[in-house]
Each structure stands twice: as structure tokens, then as C-alpha cells.
């Protein structure tokens, strides 16, 4: 996917607001609001990464997503990465888009990501329809069980896929991190360019 070269409107907004420090830390929990009610013409966009990283390879994939999302050419997008067991419904309500990362465990998403969904599902069900999401999966085999299990739950939440799942299967290869880097950059750039059709 390619994006038109951005105007500097986003840079202007970012500078004018001075709200995003690109640290990935969310400093104003009291301001967490329903994502679809935020006036996107006035605020930074928020990208949430909820990634289970139980091994060096999955840590490298999560870090590649983060690096891509925080690319220096992308303006006005605040990125926050949270482990699934630490993520809460307010994190999701804060987000304008979400990237989910997991290993495949026993033919399913990781228990940690499942626990995340168990806790956020009902608090978010009526408040995040249409939330743009993407996922990446690390699996020794084919990863389809993990993918299906996530698709089933986000289908219930009525989240909207905006990127083909990144499947890193079989032996680990550098291309896994490259694909994750591209994923993070693509979703962040899409938020910057407002191509996901955020409601105003
Ligand atoms: C308890 C457990 C269950 C697993 N189940 C599956 C599985 O069902 N399918 C699969 O492809 N890989 C499975 N794996 C492999 C993990 O997906 C893989 O080790 C993990 O993504 C980390 O990748 P890495 O070994 O490259 O660091 C399992 C690993 C563990 C520890």
C-alpha cells in the first residue's frame, strides 16, 4: 500500500498541540475518550500495539512494529505498546487504531491475548465499532488457528481490518521483522493520512 506524500498539516497540528512526545507513553488517562467521538481534526492520532512477546524473536517483531510506527517521517501519531496482560479497556478506548501481536499457542492466540479480549470485550463492545485493526502472528507451524481465533473475536467487536495479517511461520527469518516494521509504519502512516475513515 502506498500513501500520498503528506501535506504538513499533520506536522502543524502536532506542533500546535504539543501533545505527542512520541515516547509511546500515555500521560493523560483522565482524557481517555470514546475513540469515535474524538474530533480527529484537532487531536493527535493514537496507535495502540497490544503484543504478546514471550521470546526473543517475538520481542524483535514487536520492536520492529514499534520502530515502524514511530518512523521519523510520520507526524501527529502517538504510539503506545502494552503487553496484553497489562492492557485495559481504557487503552482501547484511547486508540484510533490497534495492532495485535501474538504467538500461536495450541492452535489458538496466546492465553495472554485471550485474557486481554476477555477483559475488554464488553466494556468496548458498544464503544469501538469500526475500530481499524491489524495483526501479526508468530507460529512454528502455520498460524491459521491463531488468526481465526482473533478474527472471530474482533468480528464480534465489529473492528475493521485495515491490513492483511502478517504471518511469520516456520523458521524465524529477518523478513519477519521487515514485515512487522512495514506493518507498523503502514498503520501509523494511514492514521496520519486519515485514510481509515475516522469519524469526526
Ligand atoms: C505452549 C506452546 C504452544 C505452542 N503451540 C503452537 C501451535 O499450536 N502452533 C504453532 O505453530 N506453534 C506453536 N508454538 C510455537 C510458538 O508459536 C512459538 O514458539 C512462538 O511464537 C515463539 O516463536 P520463536 O520460537 O520463534 O521465538 C507453541 C509454543 C508454546 C510454548
Pairing of strands 108-109, 160-161: unpaired
pLDDT tens-digit series, residues 113-164: 999 999 999 999 999 999 999 999 999 999 999 999 999 999 999 999 999 9
**Residue 25 corresponds to which cell in the numbers above?**
507513553
**Distance from the CA of 173 to the center of ligand 1, in angstroms?**
15
Domain membership flag for residue 16? no
Give dist(CA 191, CA 58) in Å, integer. 25
**Distance from the CA of 162 to the center of ligand 1, in angstroms?**
26
Domain membership flag for residue 20? no
Domain membership flag for residue 146? yes
pLDDT value for 42: 54
**Distance from the CA of 41 to the center of ligand 1, in angstroms?**
42
Q: Choose which residue among 52, 84, 108, 140 to substitute to test ligand 1 binding: the one with the highest number of ligand atoms within 8 A of its C-beta.
A: 140
Domain membership flag for residue 14? no
pTM metric for this prediction? 0.83
CA distances 88 to 17, 98, 123, 163, Å, are 26, 13, 10, 23
Domain membership flag for residue 2? no
Q: Give me the mean pLDDT over the 94-123 stretch.
A: 98
**173 vs 26: which has the higher pLDDT:** 173
What secondary structure letter does DSSP report for 30? Answer: G
Q: How many structural domains comprise the chain?
A: 1
Beta carbon of 173 within 6 Å of any ligand 1 atom: no
**21 vs 180: which has the higher pLDDT:** 180
**Distance from the CA of 160 to the center of ligand 1, in angstroms?**
27
Domain membership flag for residue 7? no
**Residue 117 corresponds to which cell in the numbers above?**
479480549
In ligand 1, the atom with minimum distance to the C-alpha of 58 is 27
Domain membership flag for residue 9? no
Choice among 17-31, 34-48, 72-86, 92-106 with the minimum mean pLDDT: 17-31
Beta carbon of 170 within 6 Å of any ligand 1 atom: no
Beta carbon of 107 within 6 Å of any ligand 1 atom: yes
Q: Choose which residue among 52, 55, 105 to substitute to test ligand 1 binding: the one with the highest number of ligand atoms within 8 A of its C-beta.
A: 105
Q: Choose which residue among 102, 104, 169 to substitute to test ligand 1 binding: the one with the highest number of ligand atoms within 8 A of its C-beta.
A: 104
Binning pLDDT at 50, 70 and 90, where does residue 15 land?
very low
pLDDT value for 13: 31
Domain membership flag for residue 62? yes
* Residues forming a β-bridge with 48: 80, 98
CATH, residue 92 = 3.40.50.360
Beta carbon of 182 within 6 Å of any ligand 1 atom: no
For 140, the domain range is 25-193
pLDDT tens-digit series, residues 55-85: 999 999 999 999 999 999 999 999 999 999 9
Amino acid at each position: 500500500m502506498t500513501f500520498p506524500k503528506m501535506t504538513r498539516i499533520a506536522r502543524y497540528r502536532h506542533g500546535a498541540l504539543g501533545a505527542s512526545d512520541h515516547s509511546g507513553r500515555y500521560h493523560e488517562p483522565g482524557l481517555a475518550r470514546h475513540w469515535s467521538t474524538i474530533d480527529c481534526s484537532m487531536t493527535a492520532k493514537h496507535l495502540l500495539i497490544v503484543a504478546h512477546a514471550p521470546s526473543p524473536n517475538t520481542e524483535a517483531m514487536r520492536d520492529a512494529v514499534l520502530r515502524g510506527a514511530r518512523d521519523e517521517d510520520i507526524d501527529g501519531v502517538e504510539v503506545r505498546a502494552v503487553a496484553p496482560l497489562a492492557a485495559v479497556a481504557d487503552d482501547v478506548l484511547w486508540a484510533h487504531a490497534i495492532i495485535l501481536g501474538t504467538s500461536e499457542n495450541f492452535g489458538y492466540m496466546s492465553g495472554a491475548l485471550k485474557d486481554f479480549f476477555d477483559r475488554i470485550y464488553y466494556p468496548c463492545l458498544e464503544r469501538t465499532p469500526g475500530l481499524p485493526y491489524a495483526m501479526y502472528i508468530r507460529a512454528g507451524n502455520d498460524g491459521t488457528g491463531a488468526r481465526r481465533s482473533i478474527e472471530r473475536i474482533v468480528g464480534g467487536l465489529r473492528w475493521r481490518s485495515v491490513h492483511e495479517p502478517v504471518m511469520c511461520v516456520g523458521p524465524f527469518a529477518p523478513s519477519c521483522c521487515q514485515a512487522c516494521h512495514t506493518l507498523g509504519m503502514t498503520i501509523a502512516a494511514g492514521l496520519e493520512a486519515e485514510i481509515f475513515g475516522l469519524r469526526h
